[in-house]
Amino acid sequence: MLVDYRVRQREYLLSISRALTSELDLSDVLRIIVQASVDFISGRAGAIVLADPSDSVFRIAAIYGLQRDHFERFAPMLSGLPYKAGEEQEAIPELTRRMQRVAKAAEIGVTQVLRLPMLSGDALIGMIYVFQASNYRISSDASNLLQSFADQAAIAVKNARLYQEVIDEKQRLDAILEQSADGVMILDRQLRIDRFNPSLSRMTGSAREDVIGRYHRDVIRWHKLRTELTLETAIVDGWPLPGGAHLYVEGDLKRTDRENTSLGITYAPLLNSRGAMTNIIANVRDLTRYRQEEELQKTFISVVSHELKTPVSIIKGYAGTLRRKDAKWSPGLLDEYAAVIEEEADRLTGLIDNLLEASRLQSGAFRLELTDEVSLPRLVTDTAVRFESQTDIHEFRINFPDDFPLITGDERRLVQVLNNLINNAIKYSPDGGYVDITGHTHADYVTVSIQDQGIGIPEHEKHRIFDKFARLDNALSRKTEGTGLGLFLTKAIVEAHGGSIWFSSNDNSHGSGNPGTIFTFSIPRDKHFIKHR
Ligand code: ATP
Ligand code: MG
């Protein structure tokens, strides 16, 4: 009998510890424990209730041998009887009385109840209830064993909660890492990449799956460094020093897929309790835009100062000459000088207008002033007449169909578009030739093309001619005036009208093929396409 009892005891404990160590979820483990508790003392039923950490109310976590709604009837019995240290050794008379009342009313055949506290340290985290149908008093041995079941259950609950906390914390960290607009990467002690977030993939052009496990130096390859040290050279120099100061590295990163990216990386060492480095956390900022702005500002200052200086010094030169007291000027010469001054003043005005327009575009204050019934053929003719007087070597040929419709548009801005395209056509065909301006009508839109017989645009420059301050590097760009704002503004104006602009060109720098460039822009016929910006 005693041997039998010991064997059973061992079997139960074994099955419980097996449940604890296998990766069952908590409710399965608790079910096994409550079942073992009931079976062990040949009880009738049992349940485990757990104190909800959020409100400390006890709720059912596992039931054995009883319907859930039956057990819920015992609710009055479960509350208002606080656990007292040491009570597990005896039956609690008040508890038994309450239970018997419920059992009788519900016609459930149980006569005795044991409750076993589940303690975590001093805190009561749950109870095991075991119901018996007999009046057989259980031995203190058995009750000790039952309490050890309850202790096991408490451990299971504690482990599960710790595990859940770790998972929650990890998920939170993952989410922060994933959502961060800054690039984040974590390196191990050997400087291999352990984590790499999506922002960093975007900045570096490297997919996460291609970099995890690789060495930092193989992924963060600097093209140009703006700080003295890289992570690798800093480590050779003894970084991190005790105290773990951050390391900042800035420069341009090599990229295979597109132009280099400017990055600033802050490396923070993660030290263990003994001061040894276990990981490095790197925070990465994309500085490309900042660098581009810086470049643009430099270009802006040099272009503007150069372009403003030229007309101003011409005006000053001519005005000074005219004021000389010692000379007499013929009316013809006077007129010629005055005309130069006027022309240069106009050029200055045009330049300032372009700059203002560009800054309006940038600040979002750019608005079209629309009028109905704009006649593009008339605007083209007027503009061409003005330019014709400035050149002897170009011949304008204007060709618009008779049924070319009136459109809705911003007349002053459309003149700016034509001015710039025709001006370019002349400026970039220094040997002269025809400038053909042709209109076409389509069902939804009209187009105007300006074709010259000039130097053309080389293939490798085609992508940037609409950029702000883009001037192509050719012999002419140094000889001709311009800020490189013309096409940038032209495109913005055409697009504000709901149209688009494109071009095709042959590079004539090798003297082969057909020289010349043709720019075409479209404007929708239906004014509803116009963006009111
Ligand atoms: P701005 O118009 O501000 O006075 P720009 O004429 O140099 O200066 P854009 O009109 O924006 O500037 O043109 C940009 C660049 O594109 C020019 O510098 C020139 O190199 C090239 N380009 C523009 N139009 C032509 C053309 N018709 N033929 C050849 N190259 C052209
Ligand atoms: Mg231009």
* Gap from CA of 361 to ligand 2 centroid (Å): 17
Q: Whole-angstrom Cα distance, residue 307 to residue 349?
A: 12
- 0.75 exceeded by the pTM? no
Under 8 Å CB-to-CB from 20, ≥6 apart: which residues?
Answer: 29, 152, 155, 156, 159
Ligand nearest to the CA of 426: 1
Mutation choice for ligand 1 from 299, 310, 423, 428, CB with most ligand atoms inside 8 A? 428
Q: Whole-angstrom Cα distance, residue 116 to residue 119?
A: 9
The residue with tokens 């007999």 is 134
Query: Which residues line ligand 1 at a C-beta cut-off of 6 Å?
Result: 354, 420, 424-425, 428, 452, 454-457, 465, 470-472, 477, 482-488, 517
Mutation choice for ligand 1 from 303, 487, 517, CB with most ligand atoms inside 8 A? 487
Mutation choice for ligand 1 from 361, 387, 424, CB with most ligand atoms inside 8 A? 424
* Gap from CA of 290 to ligand 1 centroid (Å): 26
* Gap from CA of 532 to ligand 2 centroid (Å): 25
How does pLDDT run across 253-268, given as a tens digit for each residue? 988 777 778 999 999 9
Ligand nearest to the CA of 501: 1
How does pLDDT run across 80-124, given as a tens digit for each residue? 677 877 776 667 788 888 888 888 877 778 888 888 899 988 888
Length of the chain: 533
Q: What residue's CA is closest to ligand 1, atom 16?
A: 465
The residue with tokens 């203190």 is 140
Q: Pick from 70, 142, 146: which is nearest to 110 by CA?
A: 70
Largest Cα–Cα distance in the chain? Answer: 142
Can the peptide bond before residue 240 be classed as cis, meaning omega within 30 degrees of 0?
Answer: yes
* Gap from CA of 471 to ligand 1 centroid (Å): 6
Using a 10 angstrom Cβ sphere, with 0-12 exposed, 13-18 middle and 19 or more buried, the burial of residue 57 is exposed
- Token digits of residue 514: 């057909």
What pLDDT is stored for residue 513 in this prediction? Answer: 52
Identify the residue with better confidence: 211 or 145.
211
How does pLDDT run across 326-343, given as a tens digit for each residue? 888 888 888 988 988 998
By the 8 A CB rule, do 212 and 188 touch?
Answer: no
Q: What residue's CA is closest to ligand 1, atom 20?
A: 472
Q: Whole-angstrom Cα distance, residue 246 to residue 443?
A: 64
By the 8 A CB rule, do 204 and 183 touch?
Answer: yes
Using the atom order of ligand 1, give the atom closest to the CA of residue 455: 29
Q: Whole-angstrom Cα distance, residue 286 to residue 127?
A: 56
Range of lowest pLDDT (1-5, 173-177, 370-374): 1-5
Three-state SS string over 487-531 comes to HHHHHHHHHHCCCCEEEEECCCCCCCCCCCEEEEEEEECCHHHCC
Residue type at 490?
T
Using the atom order of ligand 1, give the atom closest to the CA of residue 484: 12
Ligand nearest to the CA of 515: 1
By the 8 A CB rule, do 120 and 154 touch?
Answer: yes
By the 8 A CB rule, do 517 and 503 touch?
Answer: yes
Phi/psi of residue 50, each to 5°? Answer: -120, 140
Q: Whole-angstrom Cα distance, residue 149 to residue 12?
A: 9
Q: Pick from 480, 353, 468, 366: which is nearest to 423 by CA?
A: 480
* Gap from CA of 9 to ligand 2 centroid (Å): 95
Q: Classify strands 394-399 and 433-441 as parallel, antiparallel or unpaired.
A: parallel
* Gap from CA of 120 to ligand 1 centroid (Å): 79
pLDDT level of residue 23 (50, 70, 90 thresholds): low
Identify the residue with better confidence: 75 or 380.
380
Helix (H) or strand (E) holding 439: strand 433-441
Using the atom order of ligand 1, give the atom closest to the CA of residue 488: 11
Ligand nearest to the CA of 429: 1
Q: What residue's CA is closest to ligand 1, atom 23?
A: 424
Side by side, the strands of the sheet bearing 277-286 are 193-196, 183-188, 277-286, 261-271, 247-253, 222-225
Please check the confidence at residue 1 and state whether its pLDDT lies above 60: no
What pLDDT is stored for residue 533 in this prediction? Answer: 46
Crossing angle (nearest 10°) for helices 486-496 and 331-363: 60
* Gap from CA of 183 to ligand 1 centroid (Å): 38
Mutation choice for ligand 1 from 355, 465, 494, 502, CB with most ligand atoms inside 8 A? 465
Please check the confidence at residue 209 and state whether its pLDDT lies above 80: yes
Ligand nearest to the CA of 469: 1
The residue with tokens 């075409």 is 520
Domains and CATH numbers, the chain: 2-175 (3.30.450.40), 183-286 (3.30.450.20), 294-363 (1.10.287.130), 371-529 (3.30.565.10)
Using the atom order of ligand 1, give the atom closest to the CA of residue 425: 27
Ligand nearest to the CA of 518: 1
Helix (H) or strand (E) holding 376: helix 376-388
What pLDDT is stored for residue 118 in this prediction? Answer: 92
Using the atom order of ligand 1, give the atom closest to the CA of residue 454: 28
Indicate if the alpha-carbon torsion angle 94, 100, 106, 108 is positive or negative.
positive
**Eight-state DSSP code of residue 401:** -
Residue type at 231?
L
* Gap from CA of 527 to ligand 1 centroid (Å): 29
Q: Whole-angstrom Cα distance, residue 152 to residue 157?
A: 9
Q: What residue's CA is closest to ligand 1, atom 27?
A: 425
- Token digits of residue 462: 């085609």
Q: Whole-angstrom Cα distance, residue 73 to residue 320?
A: 109
* Gap from CA of 473 to ligand 1 centroid (Å): 11
Range of lowest pLDDT (138-142, 161-165, 352-356, 397-401): 138-142
